[in-house]
Amino acid sequence: MSISDLRAATGVLALANGRILQGIGCGAPGEAVGEVCFNTAMTGYQEILTDPSYMAQIVAFTFPHVGNVGTNAADLEQISGAASTAARGAIFRDAPTAPANWRADSDLDGWMRRRGVIGLAGVDTRALTKAIREDGMPHAVIAHSPDGRFDLPALTRQARAWRGLEGLDLAKQASCLQPFVWREGLWRWPDGYADTTGAQPSYEVVVVDYGVKRNILRALASIGARATVVPAATTAEEILERAPDGVLLSNGPGDPAATADYAAPQIRKLAESGAPVFGICLGHQLLALALGARTVKMEQGHHGANHPVKELATGKVEIVSMNHGFTVDRSSLPAAVKETHISLFDGTNAGLAVEDRPIFSVQHHPEASPGPNDSLYLFTRFAHLMDAAKGV
């Protein structure tokens, strides 16, 4: 009989290799297929689960206690708010706890249930993390059934049949449908997020939305930029018609090589226009591809808020937030493109700049959320490039 009664287990993770992890289901009932990665951040689980870069992924949290501060409406990172454009599932060591924070307006379990995010608790996340480090990020199905009945062979077959992220363009799904202007700045105690509606902008920035995080837009607002967000497939001509002082290429999900089919030609035109360009995460990878470099799939990726990155020009080490499963092949960078940052975990590329042009990008997330603010100064660096281009 293919239907298995796991009795006490109300949640499972069925891996493509046939392994089944049992636990306590939480969040939404149902099932979802995706790539399993681990995240080492100790805080910021709501921001992680709503980061569009996690689209088609299942996040295993290495920190054992998740849910302590609950959730709130202000800390969503995706623009659309749709669960389908962020993480498909979450795996915890312990069941989510009741919230104990003044900003909470919901508990994590109920929030996940309303958003359709499937959860699995009671799993040995240390063993799962070790397996990912040794064998790479597996394809799997996460399932939650309140009656504890699962068709395990069918779940395993579904995991094996999933095509995975390689060759998959997800940016168009994660992107906005129409241009819009962002007016909210970074969060400051005790006022919360700044409202820049009435402020005269110092810069006009066009953000190409491949799955942008809200905090990137807030960071732009906080340097005095009015950010106009445009869909992923917007042409360079349409962007330049807006006469921007600078262009930001955002983060996002999927295989950068697939997204580059339509994005790279437009980015090359932007690079040739003389406009300052700043790329973040997927935007960094797309910029590299547009300039002639290659990207490759990583075995375990970088996901967390405690990654050391070294700036080569100064020797300064920053602790940063990262979330990517592909990387720029540093050996493929053209002669006119210099490497600016590297990961101190594995030596992979973490930044680049184009010689004699106001163009740079980083693999990590300078806007954090969650994570440290060591790299927030990069938005000011972008502002300086825009000032120089304007002759200020």
How far apart are the C-alpha atoms of 209 and 211, rounded to whole Å?
Answer: 5
pLDDT digits (tens, 9 = 90+) for 302-344: 999 999 999 999 999 999 999 999 999 999 999 999 999 999 9
Query: Please, which pLDDT band fits residue 286 given cuts at 50, 70 and 90?
Result: very high
- What is the number of alpha carbons within 13 Å of residue 316 lying toward its C-beta? 9
Could you give the residue ranges of the DSSP H alpha helices within the chain? 45-49, 108-115, 125-135, 152-161, 171-174, 214-222, 236-240, 256-273, 282-290, 377-390
- Give the pLDDT confidence score for residue 2 in this predicted structure: 40
Query: Please, which pLDDT band fits residue 191 given cuts at 50, 70 and 90?
Result: confident
Question: Among all chains, which residue has been given the structure tokens 């064998």?
Answer: 135
- Give the pLDDT confidence score for residue 7 in this predicted structure: 57
pLDDT digits (tens, 9 = 90+) for 135-186: 999 999 999 999 999 999 999 999 999 999 999 999 999 999 999 999 999 9
How many other CB atoms sit within 10 Å of the CB of residue 336? 12
pLDDT, averaged across the chain: 95
Mean pLDDT within 123-128: 97
Q: What residues form DSSP beta bridges with 27?
A: 118
Cβ atoms 385, 276 nearer than 8 A: yes
- What is the number of alpha carbons within 13 Å of residue 360 lying toward its C-beta? 23
Cβ atoms 30, 173 nearer than 8 A: no
Task: Give the tokens for residue 328.
Answer: 């720029």
- Give the pLDDT confidence score for residue 198 in this predicted structure: 83
Task: Give the tokens for residue 130.
Answer: 């070790």
How many other CB atoms sit within 10 Å of the CB of residue 77? 25
- Give the pLDDT confidence score for residue 1 in this predicted structure: 28
Least confident of 155-169, 193-207, 209-223, 336-350: 193-207
Cβ atoms 174, 201 nearer than 8 A: no
How many other CB atoms sit within 10 Å of the CB of residue 81? 11
Query: Please, which pLDDT band fits residue 4 given cuts at 50, 70 and 90?
Result: low
Name the 3-class secondary structure at 63.
Answer: coil
Selection from 14, 327, 43, 35 nearest residue 142 by Cα: 14
How many other CB atoms sit within 10 Å of the CB of residue 382? 26
Task: Give the tokens for residue 330.
Answer: 């540093």
Query: Please, which pLDDT band fits residue 81 given cuts at 50, 70 and 90?
Result: low
Cβ atoms 228, 207 nearer than 8 A: yes
pLDDT digits (tens, 9 = 90+) for 102-117: 999 999 999 999 999 9
Task: Give the tokens for residue 89.
Answer: 């599932």
130 pLDDT more than 50:
yes
How far apart are the C-alpha atoms of 95 and 93, rounded to whole Å?
Answer: 7
- Give the pLDDT confidence score for residue 392 in this predicted structure: 79
Provide the angle, in degrees to the nearest 10, between the axes of the packed helices 282-290 and 256-273. 70
What number of helices (H) and strands (E) belong to the chain?
10, 21
230 pLDDT more than 80:
yes
How far apart are the C-alpha atoms of 351 and 361, rounded to whole Å?
Answer: 5
355 pLDDT more than 70:
yes
Name the 3-class secondary structure at 216.
Answer: helix
Whole-number percent of the chain with pLDDT over 70:
98
51 pLDDT more than 90:
yes
Task: Give the tokens for residue 308.
Answer: 């050391």
Under DSSP, the state recorded for 116 is T
197 pLDDT more than 90:
no
Residues annotated as catalytic (active site), given as ranges: 281, 365, 367
Mean pLDDT within 365-379: 97
